[in-house]
Copies of this chain bind each other. A is one copy, B any other.
């Protein structure tokens, strides 16, 4: 696809149905004032365009689209399926999702549909057909916005309809029930299934449900939602070549973004760093690197961010003056070609009325609108950034299969989480201004100088990593990696069996700890927590951190989680050994440097000014 907009995309979610039509004209005038180039429309319009089943009325929406076209604002047009109207639940209560404990999720909020419901799919598909056929050649149309934040609230459904869909998914995967029984290790605890029809989602049970059942259900749930995406996309494709996207909620376990990225033309991300969190920009940076990497570095869309505060945390801080501009530029530095907000005009009522908006309750004469408009103006000058991409030497390995498996119950420790593991390894790289791609473990790694593998408990294809090192790569792997295969079955023969040779060591037993433990790392003291492997050297050197020459390359193993300084020391050492260079060195603490093509971005995340000499 070509980029649909003339410059850096700028705008937000526009929900005009909330306002009388006389407000719309003021909206367009203010959009022009703020240099808005694109707005997302129709996201929550289902109940207004189809007030009764099959009774479609797009008249008011035609007027919105025409008005945008006349005003020179492009439409990122939603398929309107994000939240079914109450009549669907009344006609078909079996479309409502059900939790593992049997609790039904009722209408009155949003996203109250079972992802596997054929009835929801039928009604949603009919609506998409209407929208796509009606607007596919509308002059305002720039981008198709499929649904909205899939899996944000309804991540999985455990109802009987979902059980049937899960059985079908398992039949596709395993072909025979014997093969499923083997993969799921059902000979233990007398769990053997005699037929796919006996299998249920992992509903509330007396104790730990079968781990592979849980793992497959997580895979199925991501796929069930993905099936909704492709169903809508395929309908659109029959009418239109305009690019499609769908916007993802902040980095979460629910959806395998690497699989989802393949199904759209451009990836979109909703970013809500917490202003009360002093490290929020690091998590944001990681998230942006993930979303960009989910389409191999192509530019992506920051589809939603808050102009100031959100309203859905327990306690919601505002963005300080300048902070919204800083965080917007950070997204661009990490590869975004568009910056949009939720939402254009702040709601007067409803569940998001205290979520900040580009036009606040106080109107345009306000700090928030002024900062928004100033950013819109500023971004006009930087169209040359569009399409450029970061070129990074370091890959951080992330796998949703591992995420789901790592956080299963009945493990040596339940304190080990994927997000903590990612952040512990990403933060020292970020702080050293080293650009990072986030890749699945089966990615082509040959371009990278260093591959970082945090706690890759489930490893489907260990050879891809060992081959990379053998061919000359540098790799850091942390504890509790290479333990199970894709069926969550242990690789026998001493942990971590598939990596013992590459790492030159073995681990006799898992060794979670219940306290912090002082250790020495690279000659200096540090603090170990969570876990502290007893390492048996089989060729490697070192103790808590080991290194091993393997083929043309080198593999490090870190048998614990260190405090921030310790992790930083380890990463400094290994990036140095691997010949990885920062974007810029010698910067004051809190200043981020990033590159896209020829562009160098310098971002001061401190609350005070700093002075920086122009790099040579």
Contact = CB atoms under 8 A, between A and B. Distances in A.
A51 interface: yes
A511 to B, nearest CB: 6
A18 B185 contact: yes
3 A-B pairs closest in CB distance: A185-B349, A153-B206, A188-B350
A26 to B, nearest CB: 13
8 contacts: A87-B198, A102-B103, A110-B190, A185-B349, A210-B351, A311-B410, A362-B508, A367-B508
A316 interface: yes
Contacts of A52: 194
A512 interface: yes
Contact of A48 (B85, B109, B187, B414): B187
A351 B209 CA distance: 7
A308 interface: yes
A222 interface: no
A490 B90 contact: no
A503 interface: no
A105 B102 CA distance: 10
Contacts of A44: 187-190
Contacts of A205: 105-109, 112
Interface in A94-110: 97, 101-110
Contacts of A315: 412-415, 512, 514
Interface string A64-86: 00000000000000001011111
A344 to B, nearest CB: 13
Given A106-B205, A361-B493, 19 more contacts: A18-B188, A44-B188, A44-B190, A47-B191, A83-B190, A85-B192, A86-B192, A86-B198, A97-B206, A104-B203, A109-B207, A208-B312, A211-B351, A276-B514, A312-B410, A353-B410, A354-B412, A363-B494, A366-B508
B362 A103 contact: no
A45 B112 CA distance: 41
A167 B72 CA distance: 45
Contact of A211 (B153, B349, B488): B349
Contacts of A207: 109-111, 152-153, 312, 351
Contact of A347 (B152, B185, B206, B350): B185
Interface string A173-201: 00000000000111111111110011110
Contacts of A349: 184-185, 188, 211-212, 487-490
A548 interface: no
B361 A209 contact: no
A512 B15 CA distance: 27
Contacts of A261: none
Given A317-B514, A348-B492, A495-B361, A47 B411 contact: no
A526 interface: no
A350 B189 contact: yes
B509 A51 contact: no
A592 interface: no
A108 B191 contact: yes
A160 to B, nearest CB: 11
A109 B210 contact: yes
A103 B205 CA distance: 9
A22 to B, nearest CB: 14
B112 A206 contact: yes
A577 interface: no
A309 interface: yes
A107 B200 contact: yes
B413 A362 contact: no
Nearest to A275: B514
Contacts of A353: 185, 211, 410, 489-490
A162 interface: no
Interface in A491-522: 492-495, 506, 508-514
Contacts of A276: 514
A105 B204 contact: yes
A408 to B, nearest CB: 9
